Amino acid sequence: MKNTDLVIAIDDYDVTSIMRLFNEEEGKEYLKEKGVKDEIIEKLHLLGLSSIANMLMAIKFAKYYELTEDDVVLTVFTDSMEMYNSRMVEQREEKGAYTKEDAIKDYYSSLISQKADNMIELNYLQKKRIHHLKYFTWIEQQARELDELNRQWYDDDYWTEIQSMVEPIDKLIEKFNERVKSI
């Protein structure tokens, strides 16, 4: 948290609306009408829910800091729609077939009209306050030690040690993914 300067909240409704806009045929057709190139539309399935949220945060960030076309904002697309087929099914069952009218509404209300709201630039005490919010999940839910939680804030070596664990963690993830594929 010490390195976090800005917190941005994203509405789940916007994320799921854009998920449908980017992945339903009517949504993709509407994006073509708006001038989005085919090669972009063909890749929109590469943005899963977290990636869509990251994209929206980048838009809000750019608006907040009044950036222009001369500025660059870099974000990470962490997942693809491959993980969210069930969410598409849920949305279809809950809201029905996706129409051009839905695409128009989602394009303007969930994408184009993003504002620089629900954001906070953090000072030192606000960063510490957010760090302390981890107490419930870290200590009470995960039964971790308070000393470790405190080290995350006070001991800069804590994060260097975490970085040294990347390779072993990657190997565990690969092993898990192989196990899950066979299920």
Contact 11, 19 (CB under 8 A): no
* Structural tokens at position 82: 């491959």
Could you tell me the pLDDT band of residue 1, with boundaries at 50, 70 and 90?
confident
Contact 21, 173 (CB under 8 A): no
Q: What is the pTM of this model?
A: 0.82
What is the pLDDT at residue 156?
86
Environment class of residue 18 by beta-carbon count within 10 Å: exposed (0-12), middle (13-18) or buried (19+)?
buried
Could you tell me the pLDDT band of residue 183, with boundaries at 50, 70 and 90?
low
- Rounded percentage of the chain residues whose pLDDT exceeds 90: 78
Contact 75, 55 (CB under 8 A): yes
Whether the per-residue pLDDT at 112 is higher than 90: the answer is yes
CA–CA distance, 130 with 147 (Å, rounded to integer):
17
Q: For the residues 129-152, what does the mean pLDDT come to?
A: 91
What is the pLDDT at residue 181?
76
